[in-house]
Amino acid sequence: MSTYFPFLMLPMAFGLMFLGVQVAFAMLLTATAFGLVTFGPAVVHQFVEKIDDLASNFVLAAIPLFVFMGAMLEKSGIADRLFEAIHIWTRRLPGGLAIATVLMCIVFAASSGVIGATESVVGLLTIPIMLRYGYDKRLISGVICAGGSLGTIIPPSVVVVVMGPLADVSVGDLMYGMVLPGFLMAGFYLVYVFVLCTVWPAQGPRIPREPGEPGFVEKLGITLRNLVPPLGMIVAVLGSILGGLASPTEAAAIGCICAVLLTMLYGRFTMQGLYNSLLKTVRVTAMIMAVLLGGTLFTGVFIGAGGINLASTMIGQLQLGPWALLGLLLLVLFIAGFFLDWISIVLIFLPIFTPLVKAAGFDPVWFCILFLIMIQTSYLTPPMAPAIFYLRAVAPREITMQHMYAGMVPFIILQVLTLFATLYWPQLVTWLPTVAMQAR
């Protein structure tokens, strides 16, 4: 058998995906075929052990809870109320509608961490309003797609719940580590929109003053009524995690309770809505766990066949320095983002890259956050670009694919800028986990 035999797993899995085989089954078929060739019938015992490890992982219980929380928020009418509470303060600013959209995406990202739900709900609400006031269609597309995908890099995030066990790092440390880079990226978005619409007002016109506009005291009342309850939920979820009061799974359960109470508070709770949310939770969780199972078996066979050792030897022969190695790994992730979705990237590359990064002397938590930022770019880079497909489902026909692809470019640049800032200042990631550890 060839020394390079484990590396044939990657092209086989990619080939099956490009032929239309679902990601979970592509990885399962590849793992089974190569496992039988490498280990024979004994691979069954390895698979049973991996399945047992996955099924007994307490951290992964947070996935269905976060998904349910996001599904319930869709039913609560929170998007309409949030937009009203935020927009009454930004409407006079250049690009005020787009700024309010990004701020609303930040709140949604910090509420549930479920990306598709955020983009769909926010897009349905804000696109017609921005079109009515003459906003540039490229800016509309970029703001919805980039803002909607912030759930990856702003805690809580379903992605880091998956990443933690694979990289053998604490999910709590990842939650801490992603706070500053996540809000830095969101800040870049807000500054970009403001500057763009200040220099070129036609991109995002100011909204003229209208008769009957609420005064300052009335604005405060609207804000307290519409913004404080969801912010209270965010504090309950994130505060319990970052304060060390609850694990991510326990915090997700708190979020589920808060989401249900929020729908009741806004008078939007129905048994049919609860049923639909539970059904969506089952579907999304089944998809994630099936892909996670396929990826776990795939990486188990790859590692067992000597793939990690071979990769380490090959990279050692290149005689790359630590930073050159890191740059190469990030470049591979960026290119992979053009063709693969986030869960495929995480499951295929994270278990392979993490040992190499640790051997090079880098902090694995810091690398995981860099990994997250690269996943963020994968949402916007064609041809896969899942954010664009979410937008296409809710956008009117007058917003074309050309508008969408053109609108992505500035935000991809801002994501790369966040990556460079995190590379140059590792303290953006490491400071909060260190402070939290000292506080304990």
pLDDT (mean) for 273-290 = 83
Determine what percent of the chain is predicted with pLDDT higher than 70.
92
Helix ranges restricted to H, 91-154: 96-111, 115-132, 137-148
On the question of pLDDT at 265 being above 60, the answer is yes
- Cis before 410 (ω within 30): no
Q: Which of 77-91, 101-115, 325-339, 416-430 has the highest mean pLDDT?
A: 416-430
Predicted confidence band of residue 439 (pLDDT cuts 50, 70, 90): low
Predicted confidence band of residue 371 (pLDDT cuts 50, 70, 90): very high
User: What kind and span of H or E run contains 292?
Assistant: helix 271-304
On the question of pLDDT at 2 being above 60, the answer is no
Query: Alpha carbon of 139 to those of 262, 323, 407: distances in Å?
Result: 32, 35, 6
- Cis before 383 (ω within 30): yes
What does the pLDDT read at residue 116?
61
Model pLDDT for residues 13-24, shown as the tens digit of each residue: 878 877 877 777
On the question of pLDDT at 44 being above 70, the answer is yes
pLDDT (mean) for 394-411 = 85
What does the pLDDT read at residue 85?
81
Mean pLDDT, the chain, integer: 82
**What per-residue string of b and e applies to 199-222 under the rule 16 or more CB within 10 Å gives b?**
eeeebbbbbeeeeeeeeeeeeeee
Indicate the range of 86-100, 103-117, 133-147, 319-333 predicted with least confidence: 103-117
Model pLDDT for residues 145-177, shown as the tens digit of each residue: 888 888 788 887 778 888 888 888 888 888 888
Determine what percent of the chain is predicted with pLDDT higher than 90.
11
pLDDT (mean) for 346-361 = 84
- Cβ atoms of 256 and 73 within 8 Å: the answer is no
Predicted confidence band of residue 46 (pLDDT cuts 50, 70, 90): confident
Range of the domain at 90: 5-439
What does the pLDDT read at residue 9?
80
Rounded to 5 degrees, what are φ and ψ at 386? -60, -30
Predicted confidence band of residue 305 (pLDDT cuts 50, 70, 90): confident
On the question of pLDDT at 209 being above 60, the answer is yes
d(C-alpha 279, C-alpha 68), whole Å: 9
Q: Considering only CA atoms, which of 58, 19, 30 is closest in space to residue 348?
A: 30
Task: Give the position of tokens 């300052």.
Answer: 216
Domain count, the chain: 1
Q: Which of 71-80, 314-323, 363-372, 429-438 has the highest mean pLDDT?
A: 363-372
pLDDT (mean) for 281-301 = 80
Q: Considering only CA atoms, which of 130, 81, 106, 114 is closest in space to residue 277?
A: 114
